[in-house]
Amino acid sequence: MRIGELATSTGVSVRALRYYEEQALLIPERSGGGQRHYDEAAVDRVQLIQTLYAAGLSSRTILALLPCVDAKVNTPQSRALLNAERGRIDQQINQLIEARARLDDVIALSESPASGCNRTGAALV
C-alpha cells in the first residue's frame, strides 16, 4: 500500500509517516519512481508506535525497543531499557492518579456554594 492508504487506515498523517521513516522507526520499500510502499504489517507497527508515543516515549527510545519486538531479541541492556520504561510509565500513571484526586477535591468543594468561576465565559483549553 502507498503512504496515503496507510495514513487513512491508521489515522495518522502522511507527514507523520514520513517522520517515522526519518526516525528509522518504519522504513518502507520504494517503487521505481521513488514512492513508498508499505506491507500489511505496517498498520500494526504504526499503531504500536502511536501507543508508545502516547505513553511519552521518545523516538530514540522507541527506536531502541523496536528490534526487541521484531526479532524477540534479548540482552541485559534491552531488559534494563524495557524495565526502565515500564517504571517510567507506572510513575506517570501514579502522577495522573494524584492529579485526578486533586481535581476531585476541587470538584467536591465546588458542589455546594454558588459563585463566579470563569465568569468571562472565555474559551478554555
Partner DNA sequence: CTAGAACCTGACGTGGACGTGAGGGACAAG
Partner DNA sequence: CTTGTCCCTCACGTCCACGTCAGGTTCTAG
Interacting stretch for DNA, rule CB under 7 A, among 53-61, 91-99, 102-110, 111-119?
A: 53-61
Residue 36's Cβ-count burial label (10 Å; 0-12, 13-18, 19+) is: buried
Residue 116 CA neighbour count, 13 Å, CB half: 4
Residue 29 three-state SS: strand
Nearer to a second copy, 14 or 81 (CB): 81
- Three cell numbers at 113? 456554594
4 touching DNA, by CB under 7 A: yes
- Three cell numbers at 55? 505513553
**Roughly how many angstroms between the first and final C-alpha of the chain, as a whole number?**
37
Out of 11, 24, 27, 31, the residue judged to bind DNA by CB under 7 A: 31
47 touching DNA, by CB under 7 A: no
Q: How far is the CB of 86 from a second copy (least distance, A)?
A: 5
> The cell 531502541 sits on which residue?
64
Residues that bind a second copy (CB under 8 A): 48, 51-52, 54-55, 57-58, 60-61, 64-65, 67-69, 71-75, 77-79, 81-86, 89-90, 92-93, 95-100, 102-104, 106-107, 109-119, 121-122, 124-125
